[in-house]
Amino acid sequence: HGSPSERTLSKGDFITLDFGAVVNGYRSDMTRSYVLGKASKKQSAIYQSVSNAQQAAINLLKAGVNCLDLQKISQQVLDDSGFGEWAGQGLGHGVGLFLHELPFINKNCRHVLEVGNVITIEPGIYIPNFGGVRIEDDILITQNGYEILTHAPKPFELEF
């Protein structure tokens, strides 16, 4: 999603790490965003908005839910936070034998979740010339709702 550069990181910079693994042909995908040092009020507000948008979508997860409803609730949280105009185009995607597979959760997705679907929920805010935040977790749709497969912590500020 981005290109590395030779620029040295400085206090207050956003850092986004997007990575995964392959085990027996199946993929994982996760993203964590950080700020180097102490976050500004605006950086903290962006992070909290993305976290709230992710949780709002996760709270709806279960078999029978239309992915469009996930996109809508996440976007509504971002809109209400004042950062909606900088939201990423999609909320997530399926993940399995391919890193990005159906369903692609966005404003055009009409897929209804089924038991066994593995999806990402990854809202993001990206403000040009300022920076951005994305939080991504892999989630399995189960008979009783969902199971979050990503267990990595989500600290925002990195000691410097």
Name the pLDDT band for 1 (thresholds 50, 70, 90).
Answer: low
pLDDT digit string, tens, across residues 26-38: 999 999 999 999 9
Contact 136, 120 (CB under 8 A): yes
- Per-residue tokens: 26: 């199946």
d(CA 160, CA 118): 36
What's the rounded mean pLDDT across residues 55-67? 97
For 111-122, write each residue's pLDDT tens digit. Answer: 999 999 999 999
Q: What is the pTM of this model?
A: 0.93
What superfamily does domain 14-156 belong to in CATH?
Creatinase/methionine aminopeptidase superfamily (3.90.230.10)
Q: Average pLDDT of 127-150?
A: 96
Give the confidence band of 83 by pLDDT, cuts at 50, 70, 90: very high
